[in-house]
Structure 1
Amino acid sequence: MATTRLGAFAIERVVDLELPYAAASHFFPDLTPEMLATCQREFQPGQLTADGRLEMSFHSFVIKTERHVIVVDTCCGNHKQRPLRPAFHQMDTGYLGALASAQVNPEEVDFVMCTHLHWDHVGWNTQLVDGRWCPTFPNAKYIMSKTEYAYWDRAYRDGVKDTHAQAFEDSVDPIVRAKQAVLVDSDYELDDGIALEACPGHSPGNCVINLSSQGQRGVMTGDVLHHQIQLRYPEMSTIADDDRNLARKSRMALIEKHAGTGNLIFPAHFPNPSVGRIEVNQTGGFRFDTNER
């Protein structure tokens, strides 16, 4: 497992699963056949299938600092009831083994940071123990946006029946009941060089996590970026975005902020290699550069 260095931080990617997720034309409603053909021609192998489906990864990033072990987003989770998402229903993956390969025991994790509270970012917040959903990371504080939590708590209490509400019930509410949740403002700074920044649109309280250490910078983008298509065509919002127009504004602002700076980008769903930089694409839009520097 490759380790990415960002100043004094060591960062590992821990995979829950990778798969061809959905047809690009379905996930990105504004994507034309001509745009898709351009992406298939320009992208490196492993981004799109021959029939136009999105290759996507569901992974966490583990940040090891001099003082803390931090897990960012916890993917889908095992044994979760997800009948509306058949490919993710009652999964049984090797996530904990992948975490161990990164030399991380759940008991050693100090913080879990949630960019947002969608089902595929909170699943391993909990695991099933003797029929109960218990925190996977028993000694960690789980950092959640107040805005994000309030939105999904209200939806759940109002009886919304969807996958996000199911995830709130089995992967978020148990954390609150265990008194391990810390609800924070969208500019919360966890430690020197690790801070949230509001980036709403995909969800109401969606955040990115800015990193800074020893003169190097990076950002964990969560679902502001789902796929490299959104770099080639930054205007592309997804069917999963709560507010597509706001998501577009947040995404384009993030791309403009980091393009050409050398800052490392850590997207939540880009398949391996999942760490790179945003550069201007000579044929239009931007591209994901994964070359070492």
Structure 2
Amino acid sequence: MQDVHEIVLGDVTVARVEEMHGPIMPADQFFPDLPEQAWKDHRDTLVPDHLGAEDAMVITAMQTWVVRSAGRTILIDTGVGNDKTRPVAESWDHLSLDYLGNLARAGVRPEDVDLVINTHLHLDHIGWNTRLVDGDWVPAFPNATYLMPKVDVDYWNPANNPNIVGGINENAFEDSIAPVLAAGQVQLWETSHAIDANLRLETAPGHTPGASVVMLASGGDRALFAGDIMHTPLQVTHPDHSSCFDLDPDQSRTTRLRLLGWAADNNALMLPAHFSGHSALEVVNTGSGFAIKQWGPLPRY
């Protein structure tokens, strides 16, 4: 049987285009306060797509959701990017990956993209906003409007935040955000933003100050493009535990519980930004917490 690479949600189609996937860091570093026993108890769910079988390394994907809605081609998040100088993230330094080829296999040329949505502005969600041409960073999607949360644009601008130098997002504003701003292709938003009749952006702070999610309501279908509210399926059953990359763990926890509740109440398909293998899931409220109801695998391009 041939893989089905797209799913249909009401009047919207969704495909997953992967930039790369693999182990990112040890579980006890990624989630410092998550008990080791929890990883053991849920091993059958996590291995091999979300946790290494032998080394307890968390496995994640860098990927884009390709959404076709209301006659437009929309990209949600754009990965790490090629040729970027990333001194604090050596494994992402000066990459040379066939992301644009993967997009092409999904039927998307750069000039076809109408809208790019950065759920937040960490370096692994904005990298393909731009590409290097003759030594200059230019928008990778020349006809697209880029939707960016204003709070994050302000926060990650080194002119406002000198602590960015030496941190995970060093150089990211200069090579992946500023060129798109200079090209006049950015639309900033705050609080919430209606994308079209099927999609809307909502704030989901905690991971970053301006972090957001995309909610889908089309026909009888509901979905949540969940950004980085979760980095492992273990956070469904253990939502109180935040990753080491959440700038405000308490706020992140509040956001995660709220959105897990919304997804359970609305029977919504959740599509977190970094889940590899089984990339989408439905959750259920057990009365004392949450559990995975079923997986909705979406093969990658």
Q: Structure 1 length normalisation: TM-score?
A: 0.94
How many equivalent pairs are there? Answer: 292
Deviations 1:167-204 (A, max 9, x none): 11100011001111111122111111211111100000
Alignment partner of 1:8 out of 8, 11, 17:
11
Aligned-pair distance for 1:257?
Answer: 1.4
Aligned-pair distance for 1:156?
Answer: 5.8
Deviations 1:80-110 (A, max 9, x none): 1012111111111110011001100110101
In the TM superposition, what are the counterparts of 1:133-144 in structure 2 within 5 Å? Answer: 133-144=137-148
> Is the 1:156–1:168 Cα contact (8 Å) retained in structure 2?
no
User: Which residue does the alignment assign to 1:237?
Assistant: 242
2:55 matches 1:33:
no
Amino acid at match of 2:131: Q
Moved over 6 A (4+): 281-284
Most deviating of 260-269 and 61-70: 260-269
> Is the 1:233–1:286 Cα contact (8 Å) retained in structure 2?
no
Task: Name the CA distance, whole Å, in 2 between partners of 1:239 and 1:159.
Answer: 17
- Structure 1: which 5+ residue stretches go unaligned? none
Q: Structure 2 length normalisation: TM-score?
A: 0.92
Amino acid at match of 1:182: Q
In the TM superposition, what are the counterparts of 1:1-293 in structure 2 within 5 Å? Answer: 2-43=5-46, 45-50=48-53, 51-153=55-157, 158=162, 160-161=164-165, 162-259=167-264, 261-280=266-285, 285-287=290-292, 289-291=294-296
> Is the 2:278–2:296 Cα contact (8 Å) retained in structure 1?
no
The share of aligned pairs that are identical, in percent, is: 35
- Structure 2: which 5+ residue stretches go unaligned? none
Task: Name the CA distance, whole Å, in 2 between partners of 1:109 and 1:42.
Answer: 35
Per chain length, whose mean CA-contact separation is higher, i.e. which structure has more relative contact order (CA < 8 Å, sep 6+)? 2
Task: Name the CA distance, whole Å, in 1 between partners of 2:173 and 2:270.
Answer: 28
- 2:34 aligned counterpart, secondary structure: coil
Task: Name the CA distance, whole Å, in 1 between partners of 2:103 and 2:45.
Answer: 33
Task: Name the CA distance, whole Å, in 1 between partners of 2:261 and 2:154.
Answer: 30
> Is the 2:191–2:203 Cα contact (8 Å) retained in structure 1?
yes
Task: Name the CA distance, whole Å, in 1 between partners of 2:36 and 2:68.
Answer: 42
